[in-house]
Structure 1
Amino acid sequence: MGIEIERKFLVSGDAWRNDSGVLYRQGYLNRDKARTVRVRLAGDAAYLTVKGQSTGASRAEFEYPIPCADAVALLALCDGPLIEKTRYIVLHAGMRWEVDEFAGDNAGLVVAELELASEDQAFEHPAWLGAEVTHDARYFNSNLATHPFRAW
């Protein structure tokens, strides 16, 4: 079984910005608290992902590559609006940060995520890192689809 251990933070300023951005479009076939099923187009790749309920910063995660044409068809079946964002990969102190700059109804929201080997793994906080929102359900992408940032 795949386990995802992820910490999530707000981002301030532009010091993280680089030219590595990839456009993401994603939607949810299921947004139940106990399990989510996500379809994602990421540049020229596509994925179907199933995630379990979070316990702390950990949860079960199963991700499978699928054909882009299948992802486009599945996105049309998704429950609620799609999430659109540009993802940037930012390397800092030996760690790989994923910085998501949201568009559409979530424009203005920028979030950094870091996957860890354990929940207590130490890491250096970049200067552009803001408040931690790992446990704030408003920042879950599945919730942003139906309760967008602009409506808060």
Structure 2
Amino acid sequence: MGKEIERKFLLASDAWRDEVERSERMVQGYLNDQGPVSVRARIAGSRAWLNIKSRTLGISRDEFEYDIPVADAERMLDHLTTGPVIDKTRHFVPRDGVLWEIDEFHGENDGLIVAEVELEHVDQPFAHPAWLGEEVSHDARYYNVSLVKNPYSQW
């Protein structure tokens, strides 16, 4: 079974930008956002995939990903999504043995920047860079599935 163990943080400064290894634009839309799971189609560069994630609140959730043709994902995003598409740039920042994924949102969520780190286990220690701010792992407002219905610009 796939398991995602992820912690989310706001940013205390823009100092992380000096450490970005690479960035990619990403769009995603939800095909199902009701019940115990969310199902989304994602496109980043020349890759597309379906992502199925449990909707439990917290840092450990079931997650499954399956590659699909980009043309299929584009059609799903155009015709099958339950709300607007999330548009963001994901910045990759390797730091102290972990990979930080920093999502800078666009459109209705412009101005929101969230740092995520995936861990091997729930209690795994990791360094907290000085640019890291408040942890929001348990705040559902920061989940992408929530940002579709309640965009950051409306907070």
TM exceeding 0.5: yes
Counterpart residue number, 1:143:
146
Within the candidate set 81, 84, 87, 1:84 is matched to 87
Identity score, percent: 54
How far apart are residue 55 of structure 1 and its match? 5.5
- In 1, distance between residues paired with 2:127 and 2:37? 31
Structure 1 residue runs of 5 or longer lacking an equivalent are: none
Provide the residue aligned with 1:109 in structure 2.
112
- Displacement, 1:23? 0.3
How many Å separate the matches in 2 of 1:33 and 1:54?
A: 10
CA deviation after TM superposition for structure 1 residue 43, in Å: 1.3
- Output the CA distance in 2 between the equivalents of 1:15 and 1:122: 22
The TM-score, its normalising length taken from structure 2, stands at 0.94
TM-score normalized by the length of structure 1: 0.96
Partner residue of 2:48?
46
In structure 2, C-alpha distance between the alignment counterparts of 1:23 and 1:93, rounded to whole Å: 25
Aligned to 1:6: 6
Aligned residue in 2 for 1:75: 77
* Larger CA deviation: 27-36 vs 48-57: 48-57
Which structure's residues are more often helix, by fraction? 2
Equivalenced residues, count = 152
Query: Which portions of structure 1, spanning 4 or more consecutive aligned residues, are displaced by more than 6 angstroms?
Result: none
- Unaligned segments of structure 2, at least 5 residues: none
What does residue 121 of structure 2 align with? 118
